[in-house]
Amino acid sequence: MRKARTASTLEAEAAKLARGIGYPVMLKASWGGGGRGMRVIEGEAHLAEMVAAARREAKAAFGNDEVYLEKLVRRARHVEVQILGDRHGNLVHLFERDCTVQRRNQKVVERAPAVFLDDAQREALCQLGLRIGRAVNYLNAGTVEFLQDADTGQFYFIEVNPRIQVEHTVTEVVTGIDIVKAQVRIAEGAAIGTPASGVPAQSAIRMSGHAMQCRVTSEDPENNFIPDYGRITAYRSPAGFGIRLDAGTAYTGAFITRSYDSLLVKVTAWAPAPDETIARMHRALQEFRGDGRAANRDELQRARHGPAALGRDHEQSQQFGYEDQAVRSGVRHTAEQAHHVRTGVAHAGGGRGRQYAARSREQRRVDAAHVLQQRRERQQAEVSVDAERGRGAGE
């Protein structure tokens, strides 16, 4: 939407587009990500108001207020295709990733392959990814993202991310292809299908086993997932066959600041079968120790236990009551948050959530005071560190 157009013209154009797509629709920021600027619009009565609000948010967050409309899929799964293209006209896919488990429209748990796809659906999805890549003569590593309607099986294109994504590790461990190395060699002119690129021809690319990635962050589940900061007083990471760690900022003595993303480490588990992969992830998360700062480890454990993690259907997820419990804790299915899908995959209301709810009102007040005191101490510590750095620079 161009600024040169008048507000009334924009409203009329948006209304026309929405009617053409058919309500309900999803409003998104063209230059955005992470759920910023997203709005669900059920009818024309609120269209103009929501478009204006989304444009303001997009402008503040991304420096561009361009927005667009797409069809709202109420019961959706988020699935994406990894592609690689070279300068010699070759384009291949490395199969798909399931990124359905998200919180606040950001991915939390990813896996490959997507266990809810059959062979025909997988082939159709990957061919759609290649078709989009060929249409733009795509070069190097990228991800073509889709929503799958859980009722019809239909795929809907979302966007192309022209970069390596956080969740690329699950694709690497199931295909054996180093995507980071491949993009460098392709950029240097290597051809896919040759040893120089590190990427075989499409017919030789296979998946082996199942992989799952969890993002361990410094977000505090007991404090509305606000990122914690301060010094890590003790840290221990997991290890063992089938466990991969991608880290660098988490170690004993590390000072976590507010200036960067809350991601501490990515843990990827691999095994021949989905159940074993989940068991290895459980063991790895249990082995994590990060004293001194809050982390989302327990929430990841609960999300990992959801029925969808085992490939069970949506109706069974609802039967177990994961939907309402997931809403209460803030860990939701992507479609529930971004697309109002009623699937409920995260059993986030059990364990510590029930224990916390059972505490007395007085105990909760004491806990809140303790959290506030900890925050003040961290702020003082951060100020002291900044002051010390300033004196060192001056000397």
Which residues are known catalytic residues?
107
Q: How far is CA 248 from CA 68, 127, 266, in A?
A: 37, 36, 10
Contact 182, 191 (CB under 8 A): no
Calpha distance 61→51 (Å, rounded): 15
Q: In this structure, what is the dihedral angle of CA atoms 26, 29, 30, 32, given to the nearest 10 degrees?
A: -130
E strand residue ranges, the chain? 25-29, 39-41, 67-71, 76-85, 91-103, 106-112, 140-149, 155-161, 210-217, 219-220, 226-227, 230-231, 234-236, 243-247, 255-256, 263-271, 289-291, 332-333
Q: How far is CA 207 from CA 116, 204, 210, in A?
A: 16, 10, 8
Calpha distance 211→209 (Å, rounded): 7
User: What are the structure tokens assigned to 9, written together?
Assistant: 């013209």
DSSP 8-state symbol, 163: S
Residue with tokens 């108001």: 49
Contact 121, 366 (CB under 8 A): no
DSSP assignment of 167-179 equals THHHHHHHH---H
237 phi and psi, to 5 degrees?
A: -105, 160
Residues near 78 by Cβ (< 8 Å), separated by ≥ 6?
98, 99, 100, 102, 107, 145, 146, 147, 158, 334, 335
DSSP assignment of 238-286 equals --STTEEEEESS-STT-EE-TTS-SEEEEEEEEESSHHHHHHHHHHHHH
